[in-house]
């Protein structure tokens, strides 16, 4: 069967994007394709993989074109996306990546590298100076491995060549992602060259964003079904829900695509929208991932088809999450939450609980623990979110309710498993995991009410299982 083939010339590059995974292809690249259709044609994307060759091996034989498959209940819609101009693999040729980032025509460097790609401590937001990639990049700045290392070296080259800096645009699910990116870049730059750090602080913009589109991992069955219905093979295809939302702080000194013509919302401050999404969507997504997986559900849609889990979401939103979310401009918070549940129920979206459960040590502080702290500050112990934390603890213990091993994918997986295995009782397991300071701040570990409620939830999970624990909570 023939592969998908590009039908238009590759666009002139204007963006370098780090992290060309499924979400980028389901989101950034589509918005940019729509923007180029609506306005200027010079915003092609040079996609850069910082690790794997998979995206390059899938995309390059197709001229960097791929298929976007919109999964609506009962129907699908296919569209070929051609906004990617080139794709590079950083470990194979870091100089090519740096050349692209330092080129005057590159006006934006965007990122979807997941939480762990920032090489930071999630509890503090600061760059981990002893991270192996950071240590390498400080010693060998001309051949970086990390995103902060690439950004700082490319900016140093632009400064030396007297080329205006690019705008650095984080598109990851992190609170105040622009400020976080600025912080880790400046931490790295100060360790390398304080004068360069001062120039970056004065001249480089790091707008924050809020991104939202549910994008399940592509499966072999997805690829086979596309081939059967469309008559070509596309290993780079991506499937996603119909809904999308992109809120962006409008701070692009050297220009940007007409993303607003594609439906993006440009605002002066994205923080409230970001907090809404992180807590309402990502917080309940992680809750459903851990508790749903433990209860034996493979996908989010299967999990919320269980009435107890649907009520769990509704109660979390109404009682523990929405009261901590400041009103974002133009949003109806209860309606937003209700729409989320309908999105979760979309049977065409097979978003695996195991996939969402990945990298929980990096996600938990942003998605759940901040909401827990705000509830405790209001004098309320959030029992539902404490159950979610206990579900995470049970999950990273590495053994499911049937006694089978869980394939825990997390940068701290070994440390977390060792902490869990070091204790025999639920109380001691909770205490051991709470001692992991890369995840839990002292404000929580020293709060006896939080510790007590999480311990009680863990006991119920261990004794009676996740579904019973959820049923007990919702009544």
pLDDT digits (tens, 9 = 90+) for 409-463: 999 999 999 999 999 999 999 999 999 999 999 999 999 999 999 999 999 999 9
> Using 50, 70 and 90 to split pLDDT, how confident is the model at 173?
confident
Q: Is the dihedral of CA 48, 276, 208, 66 positive or negative?
A: positive
Beta bridge partners of 352: 299
pLDDT value at residue 154: 98
How many C-beta atoms lie closer than 10 Å to residue 447's C-beta? 17
pLDDT digits (tens, 9 = 90+) for 122-147: 878 899 999 999 999 999 999 999 99
Distance between CA atoms of 457 and 443, rounded to whole angstroms? 20
Q: Over 80: is that where the pLDDT of 40 sits?
A: no
Q: Which two tokens stand for residue 186?
A: 């400046």
DSSP states of 41-96: S--EEEEEESS-SHHHHHHGGGTT-EEEEEEETTEEEEEEE--EEEEEETTT-HHH
φ/ψ of residue 44, rounded to 5: -60, 155
May I ask the CATH architecture of the domain 13-267? 3-Layer(aba) Sandwich (3.40)
pLDDT value at residue 168: 98
Integer angstrom CA distances of residue 319 from 254, 316, 337, 388: 44, 6, 12, 15
Distance between CA atoms of 367 and 392, rounded to whole angstroms? 12
Distance between CA atoms of 209 and 248, rounded to whole angstroms? 4
CB 252 within 8 A of CB 22: no
- Over range 11-37, report the average pLDDT: 98
- Over range 193-203, report the average pLDDT: 98
Integer angstrom CA distances of residue 116 from 125, 138, 186, 266: 11, 18, 17, 27
- Average pLDDT value for the chain: 96
Q: Over 90: is that where the pLDDT of 175 sits?
A: no
13-267 and 271-474 agree in CATH topology: no
Q: Which two tokens stand for residue 211?
A: 């991104």
Sequence spans of domains, the chain: 13-267, 271-474
- Vertex 89 angle, CA 84 and 94, to 5°: 115
124: helix, strand or coil: coil
> Using 50, 70 and 90 to split pLDDT, how confident is the model at 281?
very high
φ/ψ of residue 350, rounded to 5: -95, 75
Q: What class, spelled out in words, does domain 271-474 have in CATH?
A: mainly alpha
Distance between CA atoms of 305 and 309, rounded to whole angstroms? 8
pLDDT value at residue 329: 83
pLDDT digits (tens, 9 = 90+) for 47-84: 999 999 999 999 999 999 999 999 998 889 999 999 99
């Amino acid at each position: 069967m023939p592969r998908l083939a590009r039908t238009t010339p590759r666009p002139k590059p204007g963006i370098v994007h780090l992290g060309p995974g499924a979400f980028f292809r389901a989101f950034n690249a589509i918005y940019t394709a729509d923007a180029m259709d609506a306005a200027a044609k010079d915003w092609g994307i040079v996609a850069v993989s910082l690790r794997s060759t998979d995206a390059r091996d899938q995309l390059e034989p197709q001229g960097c074109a791929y298929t976007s498959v919109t999964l609506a209940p009962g129907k699908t819609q296919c569209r070929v996306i051609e906004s990617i101009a080139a794709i590079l693999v950083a470990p194979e040729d870091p100089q090519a990546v740096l050349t692209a980032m330092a080129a005057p025509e590159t006006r934006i460097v965007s990122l979807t590298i997941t939480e762990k790609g920032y090489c930071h401590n999630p509890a503090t937001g600061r760059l981990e100076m002893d991270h192996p990639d950071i240590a390498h990049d400080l010693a060998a700045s001309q051949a970086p491995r990390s995103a902060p290392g690439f950004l700082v070296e490319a900016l140093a080259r632009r400064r030396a060549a007297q080329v205006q800096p690019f705008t650095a645009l984080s598109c990851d699910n992190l609170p105040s992602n622009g400020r976080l990116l600025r912080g880790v870049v400046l931490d790295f730059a100060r360790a390398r060259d304080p004068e360069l750090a001062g120039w970056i602080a004065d001249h480089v913009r790091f707008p924050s964003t809020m991104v939202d589109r549910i994008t399940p991992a592509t499966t072999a069955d997805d690829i086979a079904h596309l081939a059967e219905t469309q008559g070509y093979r596309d290993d780079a295809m991506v499937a996603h829900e119909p809904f999308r939302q992109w809120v962006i702080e409008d701070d692009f000194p050297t220009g940007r695509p007409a993303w607003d013509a594609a439906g993006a919302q440009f605002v002066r401050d994205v923080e409230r929208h970001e907090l809404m999404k992180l807590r309402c969507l990502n917080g309940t997504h992680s809750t459903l991932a851990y508790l749903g997986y433990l209860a034996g559900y493979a996908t989010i849609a299967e999990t919320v088809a269980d009435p107890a889990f649907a009520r769990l979401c509704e109660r979390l939103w109404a009682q523990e999450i929405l009261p901590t979310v400041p009103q974002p401009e133009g949003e109806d918070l209860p309606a937003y939450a209700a729409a989320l549940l309908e999105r979760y129920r979309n049977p065409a979206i097979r978003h695996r609980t195991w996939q969402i459960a990945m990298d929980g040590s990096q996600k938990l502080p942003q998605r759940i623990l901040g909401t827990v702290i705000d509830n405790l500050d209001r004098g309320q112990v959030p029992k539902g979110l404490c159950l979610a934390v206990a579900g995470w603890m049970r999950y990273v213990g590495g053994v499911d309710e049937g006694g089978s091993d869980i394939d825990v994918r997390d940068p701290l997986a070994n440390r977390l498993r060792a902490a869990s295995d070091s204790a025999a009782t639920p109380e001691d397991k909770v205490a051991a995991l709470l001692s992991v300071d890369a995840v839990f701040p002292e404000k929580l570990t020293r709060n006896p009410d939080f510790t007590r409620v999480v311990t009680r939830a863990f006991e119920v999970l261990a004794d009676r299982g996740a579904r019973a624990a959820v049923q007990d909570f919702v009544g």
